[in-house]
Amino acid sequence: MHKITQFQHSDFIQGLFWMALGMISFVGMSVGSRELASTLSIEQVLFFRALIGLCVIVAFGRMLLPELRHAKLFKLHLARNLVHFMAQYLWTIGVVMLPLASVFALEFTMPIWVALFAFLFLHEKLTRPRIVATISGFIGVLVIIRPGIGTVEPAAGLVLIAAAGYGLSLIFVKRLTRDVSPAAIVVWMILIQLPLGLGASGPR
């Protein structure tokens, strides 16, 4: 029992570490997206993001070729990345139009959507603490967008939709991790979203 507790504690610490790195990456991506949007379209920003990701996976992804050849659960990869790409697009609009503090405050509504989608699609239980947290999060959203006090910024609504999209994307990832390695999920994300970004940023 003591060893199990130690392993759980170690996993928790590692999870916190990776989440902290993830948050630092998101902040850097937000600042970079805002700066790039002054000279590039949002579609081009998303394309170049995927292009740089492609350079990374070409350097480190050779060991994943056997797994990628099987294209396991490809339809689920495709659905996940369509949702994720649209969420990124709306989120980037919010980054450009809103203060970053507001964007991140609204983006933290994502756990609300994750809890809802996990209940609907993964049949996870909505426990009392989750319900209380969801209601509290919804009240927080109302405080941020302040409906009825002046004009609600339309970009705030786009960020909320993006947060829902990210939440649904996480549910897809949760399902994918049962049969696909995390590294392969990232590679498929780049391979699918690169042509999406190229098509969206092309001449009109």
Tell me how far apart the alpha carbons of residues 12 and 15 are, in angstroms, rounded to a whole number.
5
pTM more than 0.75:
yes
The whole-number pLDDT of residue 2 equals 47
pLDDT averaged over the chain? 81
Residue carrying the six token digits 């690169």: 194
Kindly tell me the burial class for residue 90, based on how many C-beta atoms sit within 10 Å of its own C-beta (0-12, 13-18, 19 or more). buried
The whole-number pLDDT of residue 22 equals 75
Tell me how far apart the alpha carbons of residues 22 and 4 are, in angstroms, rounded to a whole number.
27
Which residue did the predictor score with more confidence, 66 or 168?
168
Tell me how far apart the alpha carbons of residues 133 and 195 are, in angstroms, rounded to a whole number.
38
Please state at what angle helix 2-36 crosses helix 100-107, rounded to 10 degrees: 140
The whole-number pLDDT of residue 82 equals 95
The whole-number pLDDT of residue 204 equals 53
The whole-number pLDDT of residue 146 equals 63
Residue carrying the six token digits 């042509």: 195
List pLDDT tens digits, range 18-66: 778 877 877 787 778 878 877 888 888 888 888 888 887 877 677 888 8
- The residue ranges of every structural domain in the chain are 27-201
